[in-house]
Amino acid sequence: MDSTVDNSSYRTTIEIGASSLKQAAWYFVNIIFFKNPFNVFSGLKVTLLRWFGAEVGDGVVIKPSVNIKFPWKLKVGRHSWIGEGVWIDNLSEVIIGSNVNLSQGCLLLTGTHDHSKTTFDFLSHPIVLEDGVWIGAMAVVYGGVTCKTHSILGIASVAEKELEPYMIYKGNPAVPVLKRVVK
């Protein structure tokens, strides 16, 4: 059995969902207005996301140095917070509910590869963060994961499976450690 990965036969199957011109325009807008640590104007970023097809609710705050792959695959509810250095690598749809907090440096990662095949096939699955979810600093949420209402993923933790509502998760892989009580 040949167990060598054959990158020469790798083909992406991603459905980008935008023209080459729109992708190129977003590339520059993302660098100038989102990834730029000196741009603190959240309202401008919200407007630009909407222009590029994102659905963004009122009161959303987007801090500096945020990286968003494809805004046309992004939905954000009202009064959510996207912290410094957040990377939304949304090759598939990412749905962020209302009153969600994405802390500094967290990563929402929809894409991966099938490591069991020599062709290393590309895989991508959506992410859903329901209302009231808090993703801690430097935490990672994998594609296919739903973080149920008011769940918390702790600092530097990795969510590979669904997070139950009102539960606090920590670790790699994340496990439930405490019930969340909101007073």
> Would the pLDDT of 142 be above 60?
yes
pLDDT at 3: 63
- Tokens linked to 148: 């149920």
Percent of the chain with pLDDT over 70: 93
Cβ atoms of 68 and 74 closer than 8 Å: yes
Tell me the two tokens of residue 26.
């977003």
pLDDT of residue 117: 81
Does residue 94 carry a pLDDT above 80?
yes
Angle at 45 between CA 42 and CA 49, to 5 degrees: 140
CA distance 118 to 154: 35
Instruction: Characterize the bridge pairing of strands 167-170 and 175-179.
Output: antiparallel
Assigned superfamily of 19-179:
Hexapeptide repeat proteins (2.160.10.10)
Q: Are 124 and 95 within 8 A, CB to CB?
A: no
